[in-house]
Amino acid sequence: MRIDILAVIPELLDSPLNNSIIKRAQESKTAEIYVHNLRDYSDDEKYRRIDDYSYSAGAGMVLKVEPVFKAITHLKSQRTYDEIIYTSPDGEQFNQKSANQLSTLKNILILCGHYKGIDQRIRDHLITREISIGDYVLTGGELAAAVMTDSIVRLLPGGMGDETSALTDSFQDGLLAPPVYTRPAEFNGWKVPDVLLSGNDAAIEEWKMDQAFARTKKLRPDLLNDE
């Protein structure tokens, strides 16, 4: 899978994309991730400006239509994108289902929003999907793009060391994940539940399911009502 990210501050993506599983996924060519600087597409050679005042007074600075159009057109001339995503607090809410679905695509382009947003004409004519990572406002879309990319890439076949572990994530079956323990079996008088030391696989599976349900009911009852 290939992910192109158009950013105003590409440096914000350096660390999230160049460590751990996401780094390995790129090294093994499971994922190709390219971050592009929107300023490289500015017509303003001297100051590389890409924003301008809003026509609505007092609304703050807006990303200009020309550099974004130029950048997207350039990238689209090189390959076909399955989705051109704009990160914005007013987009559809990103969740595990969105990550699963996006991880099946071949090429996606993520445009990071900034300032008070982008010129609406870009959203109307070039963007195919608008995604928010939660009901709060970030300074820009780079961190949202990093969150989405991380959750998508770890799902790719070969993306994770333990191929089955994505299936046991929270949310993957509509439930939160059960608690996990490792050695020692007792620390400070705090004991690992007996069933996990029993060697009885069926009992352990049942315990995990019960725990997942109990946790979900207590912490996220809304998930049990979701279709």
Q: Is the peptide bond before 184 cis (omega within 30 degrees of 0)?
A: yes
**Closer residue to ligand ADE, CB minimum distance, 108 or 175:** 108
Residue 42 vs 132, nearer CB to ligand ADE: 132
Contact between 115 and 62 under an 8 Å Cβ cutoff? The reply is yes
DSSP class per residue in 174-223 = SSPPPP---S-SEETTEEPPHHHHS--HHHHHHHHHHHHHHHHHHH-HHH
Distance CA 212, CA 201 (A): 16
The answer to whether 140 and 11 are in contact (CB under 8 A) is no
**Closer CB to ligand ADE, residue 87 or residue 103?**
87
Binding site for ligand ADE (CB under 6 A): 87-89, 113, 132-134, 136-138, 141, 144
Comparing CB distances to ligand ADE, the nearer of 75 and 111 is 111
| Distance between CA atoms of residues 13 and 143, nearest Å | 7
Contact assessment for residue 102 and residue 148, using Cβ atoms and an 8 Å cutoff? yes
